[in-house]
Amino acid sequence: MTRERGEDAGVCRSARTIARAECHSIEVGDHGGPSSLNRLYGDPIAATDFAGYSNALASRSGRWTRENLEAYLTDPSGFAPGTAMPTVEVADERVIDEIIDWMVHQDATF
């Protein structure tokens, strides 16, 4: 995460909470539920060992770029019509940026 102080600290906490608590693991290779979000950035879409990708997401070409992640996290069914990912209601759009920043950081530190 890039921001940790002042009013942005709440945004960082919200991003971590969403990334960890809702459905996805943040542990590398933990695909016991939906796919792990750790070390996903820059990889081909739907290319982890997770066996439960929807046909809609599995049929998408490309990589998990900042733009693709933002589009998917903001409007999953618009990005991959028929995906199993529900729309995440986020009051502060900076939270999506923080989730993506965390994913970029995890990939860069591997």
- Residue 87 pLDDT more than 50? yes
User: What range defines the domain where residue 31 resides?
Assistant: 6-108
Which residues are CB-contacts of 39 (< 8 A; sequence separation ≥ 6)? 28, 106, 107, 110
Share of the chain above pLDDT 90, in %: 24
pLDDT of residue 56: 95
pLDDT of residue 19: 56
Is 58 within the bounds of a domain? yes
Interatomic CA distance for residues 46 and 1, integer angstroms: 24
- Residue 99 pLDDT more than 60? yes
pLDDT band at 4 (very low <50, low <70, confident <90, very high): very low
The residue count for the chain: 110
Is 94 within the bounds of a domain? yes
- Residue 89 pLDDT more than 80? no
Note whether 84 and 76 are within 8 A (CB).
Answer: no
Is 1 within the bounds of a domain? no
pTM: 0.73
Is 79 within the bounds of a domain? yes
Is 29 within the bounds of a domain? yes
| Segment 49-69 mean pLDDT | 91
Report the CATH number at residue 28. Answer: 1.10.760.10
Interatomic CA distance for residues 102 and 97, integer angstroms: 9
What is the number of domains present in the chain?
1
